[in-house]
Structure 1
Amino acid sequence: MSVQRVTVLGAGSWGTTFAKVLADAGRDVTLWARRAEVADEIRTQHTNSSYLPGVRLPERLTATSDAATALEAADAVVFAVPSQKLRENLAAWRDLLPADAILVSLAKGVELGTLKRMSEVISDITGVEPGDVVVVSGPNLAKEIAQQQPAAAVLACADHDRAVAIQQASFNSYFRPYTNTDVVGCELGGACKNVIALSCGMAAGLGYGTNTMATLITRGLAEMARLGAALGADPLTFAGLAGVGDLVATCSSPLSRNRTFGERIGRGETMEQARAAQGGQVAEGVTSCRSIRELARRLDVDMPITDAMYRVCHEGVDPGTVGAELLGRRQKHEWS
């Protein structure tokens, strides 16, 4: 499979950054932006000051606010919209998608209501086989990659040839993609890490240090692995870039919207104040903790940190209270 013309649907931080990655890898990239003024700025000034201030975008990356124009003759289509908006947007784009294009998901989350992973949502709407969707995951903080700092990612697809095609299309001097066939594990890692990052942010806001962070990261990883095992994921995936790699980056960096949101809550801000401070960008973990918690309950999987984040974000429980409850849970063997 040869991929030269790529359309990226969504001009937020990660969508714009991944479009830059593809263009820097020698691909012809069209970026679709919901707002015409954003598309005009990208096309004429080669910047996206709303999401990536100070970053120069490649000349071969163009943009439009017209989806039909963006999708014309694309070899691959990358979906880069928030997870809870994916189904709604796909319904509008479905009839415009080129028949043979490889479909790629950047979205990380579990859909509310259906409890489906993003590749399953794409399959629902487009009719493609779930195993034909390529999922991008890993420690991919957009700002660092946009600045061309070295990074790696995982491209997961049951059809390995499709993953390899996107690997070849996105490999450049600063971005190293690996392939994987465990779509379930990679998607769960990408969704769950946002919830654990909320908890690390709250701990930082409460004034706790490195030991607490390490505890939350490793116990969060255990939660992810348990959920993955219940859904048939490969345990090794959670030891890799889409598991512990993404988890460490998202839980540790001030560039992480989820960690930053959690830190504000830990310092005593309300949900409304924390949302306003995000500048309109989505902290996916706030929604994902609800859908992941419901999925875990359906499968009878113990996810106490996820449950704690749900209670803080959706029931108004104080972060300090849930922290004390987590410490006071019954004693157990580490791997039980």
Structure 2
Amino acid sequence: MADNATHHYISSFFLVGIPGLQDFHCWMGIPVCLLYALTWLGNSIIIVTVKLETSLHQPMYFFLCMLAVNDVALASSSAPKMLGIFWLDAHWIDFDVCLAQLYFIHTISITESALLVAMAFDRYVAICIPLHYTTILTTPQVIKMGLAAITRATLMVLPCPLLIKRLPYYTKYVISHVYCEHMAVVKLASANTNINRAYGISVALSVMVLDLGLIATSYIKILQAVFRLSSRNARSKALGTCAAHVCTILVSYTPALFSFLTHRIGKRVPPSIHIIFASLYLLVPPVVNPLVYGVKTKQIRDRVVGLFFPNKKISEN
């Protein structure tokens, strides 16, 4: 019998995978493996490129490196277990390991959101008050902002596994998901979970409302500054420096919002669709972000071309 102090009596959970699509698990492992491999490749190239190219030792690229490290961690928190389910039928996960996975997935996701806010602030300072850019966004300040993002996420998510640990789990152990997600685990408890649900919703809403609000405010200020410029070329150049960041925001927040809303109000959405979108939220942005910045940022694009094709003439565009 389990220790009464821990309250839970089951020792592990059974992760179903994608309900209704179990026969296709073997094939689903292929895109997951490909996305995970591309995550490591793309983000490693970004980090190495920024490290080697001294002209990229600027706040914007330091934030990009933080985002790259965070993206690798985000994919690594879920992809290995997904592949275990799809290819090895490794459906069981220890109770405490499940809570650890839950904690890291949500912590890294909130850190990602904070980094996108920091990158929006970077663009705001660069375009709206360029003369003070180097004094406002110094290297120590960039490091502090990165640490603040991690600290906020760590403290906000910490109560989630602690509150779950207090709940009794007697008979329900089947999680209809490919990884341990907060609400999916909470729903299995044999007790009133209103506190857990309320805290989970409050964290998710506060992060989305605050971070999206700050990003929106930054871009409103940016657009106001850009349209005050007299030269069309200057306006185009200023907006061009924001293009990669805007793409990253859309790729990161769209599946996250869909997953959040369907889990709570989308009763008619098939579980398989919800789980696929929840998985894409963890696997697609880490692949897309380095591609977007590699294509949209000339300095990175030229440096990568120089690394792989040293004899190729670099374009001026």
Q: Does the TM-score normalized on the shorter chain lie above 0.5? A: no
Higher strand share: 1
Higher helix share: 2
- The structure showing larger relative contact order (alpha-carbon pairs under 8 Å, at least 6 residues apart) is 2
TM-score (norm 2): 0.28
Mark the structure with the bigger radius of gyration: 2
TM-score (norm 1): 0.27
